Amino acid sequence: MRINYDILDLQAFVAVAERASFRQAAADLFLSQSALSRRIDKLEEGLGVKLFERTTRRVQLTNVGETFLVNVRTALDGLEDAVLGIADLAAHRTGTVTCACVPSAVWHFLPAVLKRFSARYPRIRVRVHDESAQDVLNLVLRGEADFGINFAGAENPEIEFVPVHVESYVLALRHDHPLAGRKELAWKDTVDERYISVAKSSGNRTVIDAALAGIEKHPVIFCEVNHVSGVLGLVEAGLGVAAVPGLSVLPGRPGGIVGVPLVNPEIKRTLGLISKREHSMAPAARTLFDMLKEELLHSSSGTPEGKVEQGGQVAGT
C-alpha cells in the first residue's frame, strides 16, 4: 500500500487529536479549517481508515486513530531528535571521531592535539585504533576509521595521502652502550653487534632488507619480535641493538634507550595523514583532521629530520 502524505499532514492529525477541535487546531497551525480538513481527509484516504468520529458538536479519535496517534507522536519525536542530532554534529556538540594510526604516531603526535580538541569539544568521543600500517590502511579503506596517520597508502589510488613528517632509521642502544655517544653509525659499524629485528611480516623489515641487499657486510639477526615495542624492550634489557624508526626513541620516550642515526645507506620513511578519496568526513572528524595536519606540519618544520620531501621510502610499523 502506497500512502501519500507528508509531515505536515501528520502534524495536522496530532493537532486535531490533541485539541479535539478542527477550529482550534487550524488556529494553532495558521491554516483555514477547510485546508486542515483536506489534510485529514488525504491522510484517512491514504491509510484507508477513519481516524476521527466527527459530529457538529465534537471530534473524537476512533480506536484506530488512538493507536495511530501513539505511533505518529513517536515518529515525529524521533524525527525531531534526528534533526537536532544532525545540528549537534554540525556544531561539534556530540558525535564520535574514529582515527586509525601507527603506534609511534599515537605516542608523539596525538596527545597534545587530542587535549586541545577535547577541551574545545568535550562531548565529542574520539576512538583511536593503534595498529600496524597495513591495518590502519585497511580501516580507512573500509570506512571503519574517518582518517588515519600512517606510513602506507601513498601509492593507493583510493587514498589521499598528505605527507606531514619524514624520519630516518636509527640504531636503538642502551644509554650505556659503547656506541651510544656516536653522532652517526654506518651499517658496517654494527656488524659485530647482537642484532634484534622485527619479523619479516613487518613493513619496517621489508624496507630495511631491501636497503641492505647490496651491502656486503651487515648485521646478522639473532632475535625477531613482531612489534617495535617488543624490540625496544629487549634492547632496554641489554640483549642487543636494533634498527628502528627515529620516532621510536625520541627524547621523552620512557626507558634508557638512545637512537644513533644510521647512514650508508640512510633509510627514511614518510608519515602522512590518509583519508579515503571522494569521501566526505563528518564536521567533527574534519576538524580533528585539520588540527592534526596543522600540528604535524608545524612540528616537522622546525627540524631538518622532519622536513617533508616527496619520494621518500615508505614503510609500515
Query: Are both 260 and 275 inside the same structural domain?
Result: no
pLDDT of residue 86: 59
In a domain, 158, yes or no: yes
Given 58, 90, 122, the domain boundary residue is 90
C-alpha triplet 145, 147, 148: angle, nearest 5°: 100
Helix axes 22-29, 7-19, angle to 10 degrees: 130
Q: What is the CATH number of the domain that holds 212?
A: 3.40.190.290
Residue 211 lies inside a defined structural domain of this protein? yes
pLDDT classification of 194: cutoffs 50, 70, 90: very high
Residues 258 and 217 in one domain: yes
Model confidence at 183: pLDDT above 90: yes
Q: Considering the domain boundaries, does residue 65 fall inside one?
A: yes
Q: List, for residues 65-112, the tens digit of each pLDDT value.
A: 888 888 888 887 777 666 655 555 555 555 788 999 988 888 888 888
Query: CATH number for the domain including 68?
Result: 1.10.10.10
Same domain, 105 and 29: no
What integer pLDDT is reported at residue 5 of this predicted model?
Answer: 67
pLDDT score, position 88: 55
Residue 211 has pLDDT above 70, yes or no: yes
| 116, 50: one domain | no
Number of domains the chain is built from: 3
Pairing of strands 257-263, 185-186: parallel
pLDDT, position 185: 92
* 269 has pLDDT over 90: no
- 178 and 231 in a single domain? The answer is yes
pLDDT over threshold 80, residue 216: no
Same domain? 22 vs 84: yes
Quick check: 253 pLDDT over 70? no
pTM of the model: 0.62
Q: Are residues 138 and 190 in the same domain?
A: no
Which of the pair, 299 or 169, is modelled with greater confidence?
169
Residues 158 and 231 in one domain: no
Do residues 275 and 262 both lie within one domain? no
Distance of CA 211 to the CA centre of its chain: 32
15: exposed, middle or buried (Cβ count in 10 Å: 0-12, 13-18, 19+): buried
Q: What is the arithmetic mean of pLDDT over 226-234?
A: 86
Q: What is the pLDDT of residue 314?
A: 35
Residue 285 sits in a domain whose CATH number is: 3.40.190.10
The domain boundary residue, chosen from 65, 90, 115? 90
Distance separating alpha carbons of residues 186 and 191, to the nearest angstrom: 10
Residue 100 maps to a domain: yes
pLDDT at 138: 92
Mean per-residue pLDDT, 196-225: 82
**DSSP 3-state of 8:** helix
Is residue 314 in a domain?
A: no
Q: By the 8 A CB rule, do 144 and 99 touch?
A: no
137 falls within a domain: yes
User: Mean pLDDT in the chain?
Assistant: 82
171 with 262, same domain: the answer is: yes
Please report whether residue 306 resides in a domain: no
Our CA angle for 221, 253, 167, nearest 5°, is 65
Q: Are residues 256 and 182 in the same domain?
A: yes
Q: Is 312 domain-assigned?
A: no
Q: Which of 5-19, 185-199, 258-272 has the lowest mean pLDDT?
A: 5-19
Same-domain status, 36 and 60: yes
Q: Which domain holds residue 186?
A: 166-268
